[in-house]
Amino acid sequence: MMTTTLSFLKNLRLHFRRPVLQPSTVLLDRPHIFVLPTRSGIFFGFLLIIMLLGSVNYNNSMGYALTFLLSSMTLISILHTHRNLLGLRIETGKVMPVFVSETVQFQLWIDNRGYPTRYALIWQDTAFKPFEKKPILLSLIHSGKLNSPLSAKDMPFTIDIPADQRVILTLPVLAPRRGKLSLGPVTVYTTFPVGLFQAWSYIHLDFSTLVYPQPIGHKVLPKGNQANHTGEGNPHTGGGDDFIGYRNYQLGDSPRHLDWKAVARGQPWLIKQFGGLGVSIVWLTWEDVSHLNHLETALSQLCLWILIADSQGALYGLKIPGNTLEPNTGEQHREQCLQILALYGTLDNG
């Protein structure tokens, strides 16, 4: 009978509301928090029934008193378990793009301001199979301190949220393929304070990042589309041999071209500009990798060339079917090129 009851409750939980994609912030209110007894809670309920039957059979007043006392404490524990999640606000934080086979660090802000300490909150990957023992590894940043690295033996991961605090949870997710990678549904649940009941909620935030192709292949830039002389030469940062002046620093400019002596003197950040006949331009085209006969291998080779050209400070452009970026330099140009490669051939490629 115990096994049948447990199986029924497990199937019942699967029919509760599935994770629904939500905006960047979610508030755990009453409609989104579910409560059911745990295995220990079911066993304790049967124990209370047996105690009640024994008290009725022997007309034992002390047995009645103990049974009703434990029953009232059990009902009160339901409220405490529910309130351990009620009012918790989860917001999306920062996430940086990565390359294939690297780990994406999704950051979530956990806002507990205005509430007391929350104990024993367990976070795990839902994957539409709630309560399987496959939780995500987490690390807690509070007051500027990062907990020691976690390992598989630490799962499932349990944290306490300090009273009236706003903390960061970092959820590592492996990037198996290029394209757009979403965090996916996450389950937060608790059995605090006595473990007789389990309150949980599904969290599925609109939180994603890009996964770039893995930068592997030949390290020599293609020479067929390289031009070393550009006539009168447009003034490009880092190109040419003749110094032609300064300009204000812009986001994405390479730190190699900053006038660090001026910065050390407390002057504004300025970028040195060069021009003349020595500007090097490299075109990275699909024809350079078409002989590889494999889409991911070709994209990986282009990705590696982009990183190499950027590290050398060269002017480089990207030309693949459906997308062309004119030669340029800087962090912003590099990210634009990598973004095109990440979304090439996917549904998100606009």
- pLDDT tens for 40-64 read 999 999 999 999 999 999 999 999 9
Highest mean pLDDT: which range of 71-75, 124-128, 267-271:
71-75
* Same domain membership, residue 156 and residue 291: no
* Same domain membership, residue 314 and residue 202: no
pLDDT at 139: 40
| Farthest-apart Cα atoms in the chain, separation | 107
Domain that holds residue 275: 226-343
* Same domain membership, residue 302 and residue 336: yes
Residue 233 lies in a domain: yes
pLDDT at 225: 52
pLDDT confidence of 172, banded at 50, 70, 90?
confident
0.85 surpassed by pTM: no
Peptide bond into 156 cis (omega under 30): yes
**CATH, residue 153:** 2.60.40.10
* Same domain membership, residue 146 and residue 48: yes
Least confident of 153-162, 225-234, 288-297: 225-234
* Same domain membership, residue 127 and residue 19: yes
Question: By CB neighbour count within 10 A (0-12 exposed, 13-18 middle, 19+ buried), where does 344 fall?
Answer: buried
Residue 218 lies in a domain: no
Number of CB atoms found within 10 A of residue 294's CB: 10
Contact by Cβ (8 Å): 313, 302: no
